[in-house]
Structure 1
Amino acid sequence: MNEKESALHSEATEKQGSNTRYSFNLHGSSSNVKSKLQQDREYFINTFTRFTLQNFIQNKLVERSVIPYNGNFSKCHRASIGSIISLVRNAETSRAYYNNVVTCANAMCCPVCSARIMGKRSTEIKKAVHQWLNEDLLNTCYMLTLTFAHGLQDRLADLLVAFKLALEAFWRNGSLKRLLATCGRVGRITATEIQYSQTNGYHPHQHILLFCRKTDFDLAALRGYWLRALETVGLSGLSDIALDLIEARSAENYLTKISSEMALGNLKQGRGSGHYSPMQLLAEAADGSGWATDRYIEFFRAVKGMHSLCWSRGLKAYFGIGNISDQEITDGAAQPELTKFLDMISDAFKFLSASEKALLRNYAAFDDFEHAAALLDRVGAEYWK
């Protein structure tokens, strides 16, 4: 076993030890459902965290000349579109957002935009899953996980290029296509995730939700297809780790992975153990870690133009889900269920600190106009309900 495969085996062992496998019932609910009070409290705290981290990384990326000071990412939730900024809220979920502000719509890197985007995307996936399961008793979903061996010395940009080529080779495999055709597959949703380990470096992997009929898959054959695809691009993996396939009796765990509540929820979890999600890495950087700042900037550069979530062609249309862009979500055009909380003159918005923007949005989320008005009065902003 070479060094990279040993690292992959080590990571898989740690994940198995933390019980990360999917074990939910498709038509049931998780025993770990949080109370409304817990969810609201986490939302309140996470909003502050998102805006604080966004402010930090915007300043750092401009300082390092990674992005221009007048680009969309650096202006996200700092600049307005027009003279009026609106605070809108979802009364059912007690969540709020700013409209008529510049947004980067970067679901991979932006702490603020990613939450809004993934919240909407998780709703779309839930609709597709429930519709598919209710169409026929033999319909089910499988969670396919693909990864490969990697090491501390590997550059993320190089890994992502090779990973993409391996994935293309895998899905082009004629035997795999025939196998998927026989299982009644109607499509797949792919979530790309990237983690970082101080021991083993960057760890790109994909979770693919397959919509198909209940099937006895030949797991050994599937693993062989993936290992051969890896070999064609100079990558490698361990057979029982590089590919995993389980029936996702509930997509709940998968949905949680990409939902807005988990984008920055449990932010401290994993820090100190040497394993970091991108947002955990960013939090470490904001705490003053130089190595974490360097690694996050490498991540930012490497994932430029990538989408964290992709549906196969025609799958959204199959479930009657509109093809809405991330930008439409962050601009508010894709959320007609939101209602106006207040309007404010945009000139005052740019003088609000990151914490004040977070606090104001939280007041809107919980429909607390009295405290929102007091905050705006304190900074001399003109507003109206």
Structure 2
Amino acid sequence: MSPDGEQVGRKGLTRCASVWACPVCETVIRGQRATDADTAITEHVRNGGMVLFVTFTVRHWSNHDLEDLIRVQVREVWKGLLQGRKWARSNAGNLRNRLGVVGTIRVLEVTVGQINGWHPHLHVAVFLGGRQDPKPKRGSGEKWDPTVRSYFRPTDADLDLFEAEWKAAWIDGVTAANPDFRPSARDGVDFKRVYTVKDAAAIGKYISKVQGTDVTTDWSAGAELAMSHVKQARGGNMKAMDILFRLAALRGGQVADELPGWGSIEQLAALWAEYELTTKGGQNMAWSEGLKRAYGIGTDENQDAADRQAVDAEDASEADATRIHMSARTQLEVGRKRIVVDVDEAASDAVRRNEDPVIAVRALLALVGIDSMGVWAITADEDEAKWKASAENAVGASGETDDARAKRKEREANDLRRARADRRQHVWKQASASTQE
């Protein structure tokens, strides 16, 4: 805690750095991602380039598995779209060069509807109107400098041609991968052309009204890409955290009709299990090679490493701050009983009154039935020593044998099969019966 008791932070917690399944880490990660994306988009547009903001969707029904929908869109069609002929050239010549393609940022968003099921879809920002040095030949040993040397505005004719080719390629690719997912010609692909910083700031209107945000002033292209978790989904659809928060509220005894979203405890648990198991290890956001370096944001390192850095940065603390150490068991009980804020307030109030915050926290814990001896004061030097030892232990224990990895993969595959079966039984069967009534 800061010397005045106004600022409270935590250090030394084990953090999962999951942008998919953790409401704590997700907020930190998406905030940093939105800042990075906004920096690149704004600088590119301000310098004279343009951004094409594209949303790709597929047809989906309640009997479709989330894993199949994601695999077709991300690993098959999107990957093929970047590597295929339509992207590299057209019958009219090298369209990619005429457009001045600098790179792309791709984000996968997942929602779920009560009637039509899982709805994963892609948001893509395509940076156009930039001239860069050509990439050196493979094996040459030369390092490519992705700096954009000059900017220009692509012609409307080339943009029209590009949009038509990408739309056709997306529909044909999805249909070839799985005819059940064939997108509609009208809604399968949507394009927004961004020419000015003001245009970029207005992109948040594109999908839906943002919960608690003035879209016209506060929402940006970067936020549209990275902060989709705070937007309200259309047509009664729920985002992942909507599932989790409603599930937690119902398990906590709140009335279903008074909560946003839909679904019983059994339905929500089945949805969450399938979602978490399917997305684990997947890539939520991807920058094309060199794009981060072109705008001084970072390197082409794996996004997971950048996410880990973002959440670890939350562990910074002031040298002269008051420190209270909580045992792992005590911290767990504080979380289970949802009194994290109460603990913070008790400690801060004590610091402001020049009283011992440890005594104040212990008194609070005793009132709610938590062992108060799991809390004690700690010096800055002791804190640093514990933090260093914890980091060293984590590194030493991080190895996983091939046998253990194989068993874990098998266990997760079995869990996913059960989750899908539960979802079909508890969610769509009940939803179908409700619709017929």
Larger radius of gyration: 2
Same fold (TM over 0.5): yes
Does residue 127 of the first structure (1) align with residue 43 of the second (2)? no
1:191-206 pair list within 5 angstroms: 191-206=107-122
How many pairs align? Answer: 286
Shift of 1:101: 0.8
Percent identity between the two aligned chains: 21
Q: Quick one: which amino acid aligns to residue 378 of structure 1?
A: L
1:197 and 1:203 in contact (8 A); partners too: yes
Shift of 1:221: 2.5
Unaligned segments of structure 2, at least 5 residues: 90-94, 130-152, 202-218, 252-263, 300-304, 366-371, 380-437
> Could you tell me how far apart the structure 2 residues matched to 1:368 and 1:166 are?
58
1:165 and 1:233 in contact (8 A); partners too: yes
Please give the per-residue CA displacement for 1:176-202, whole angstroms capped at 9, x wherever unaligned: 223333211211111110100111110
Residue 334 of structure 2 corresponds to: 352
Shift of 1:122: 1.4
Shift of 1:342: 4.2
Residues 361, 203 of structure 1: alpha-carbon distance in 2 compared, 3 angstrom cutoff: farther
Q: Quick one: which amino acid aligns to residue 224 of structure 1?
A: A
Please give the per-residue CA displacement for 1:44-97, whole angstroms capped at 9, x wherever unaligned: xxxxxxxxxxxxxxxxxxxxxxxxxxxxxxxxxxxxxxxxxxx69xxxxx9975
Shift of 1:270: 5.5
Unaligned segments of structure 1, at least 5 residues: 1-86, 89-93
1:99 and 1:332 in contact (8 A); partners too: no
Shift of 1:330: 1.6
> Could you tell me how far apart the structure 1 residues matched to 2:7 and 2:103 are?
31
Residue 57 of structure 2 corresponds to: 147
1:85-124 pair list within 5 angstroms: 97-124=9-36
Does residue 227 of the first structure (1) align with residue 158 of the second (2)? no
> Could you tell me how far apart the structure 1 residues matched to 2:170 and 2:346 are?
49
Residue 207 of structure 2 corresponds to: none
Q: Quick one: which amino acid aligns to residue 177 of structure 1?
A: A
> Could you tell me how far apart the structure 2 residues matched to 1:129 and 1:147 are?
23
Please give the per-residue CA displacement for 1:364-384, whole angstroms capped at 9, x wherever unaligned: 9x9995499444663343246
2:35 and 2:223 in contact (8 A); partners too: no
Residues 367, 113 of structure 1: alpha-carbon distance in 2 compared, 3 angstrom cutoff: farther
1:98 and 1:361 in contact (8 A); partners too: no
Residue 193 of structure 2 corresponds to: 247
Q: Secondary structure at the match of 1:237?
A: coil
Q: Quick one: which amino acid aligns to residue 185 of structure 1?
A: V
1:285 and 1:291 in contact (8 A); partners too: no
Please give the per-residue CA displacement for 1:311-359, whole angstroms capped at 9, x wherever unaligned: 11111111112245212222227x87x7565422131433423522245
Given the two structures, how large is their TM-score scaled by the length of structure 2?
0.58
Please give the per-residue CA displacement for 1:254-300, whole angstroms capped at 9, x wherever unaligned: 4334666x64x57xx569x5311111122232225211110111111
Equivalent residue for 2:297, pick from 303, 311, 321: 321
Q: Secondary structure at the match of 1:192?
A: strand
Q: Quick one: which amino acid aligns to residue 182 of structure 2?
A: S
> Could you tell me how far apart the structure 1 residues matched to 2:97 and 2:377 are?
58
Given the two structures, how large is their TM-score scaled by the length of structure 1?
0.65
* Higher share in strand: 1
Q: Quick one: which amino acid aligns to residue 353 of structure 1?
A: G
Please give the per-residue CA displacement for 1:148-198, whole angstroms capped at 9, x wherever unaligned: 111110011121122221112222221322333321121111111010011
Residue 364 of structure 2 corresponds to: 378
Q: Secondary structure at the match of 2:187?
A: helix
* Higher share in helix: 2
1:188 and 1:311 in contact (8 A); partners too: yes
Residues 274, 349 of structure 1: alpha-carbon distance in 2 compared, 3 angstrom cutoff: same
Q: Quick one: which amino acid aligns to residue 226 of structure 1?
A: W
Residues 187, 363 of structure 1: alpha-carbon distance in 2 compared, 3 angstrom cutoff: farther
> Could you tell me how far apart the structure 1 residues matched to 2:127 and 2:8 are?
32
> Could you tell me how far apart the structure 2 residues matched to 1:304 and 1:111 are?
15
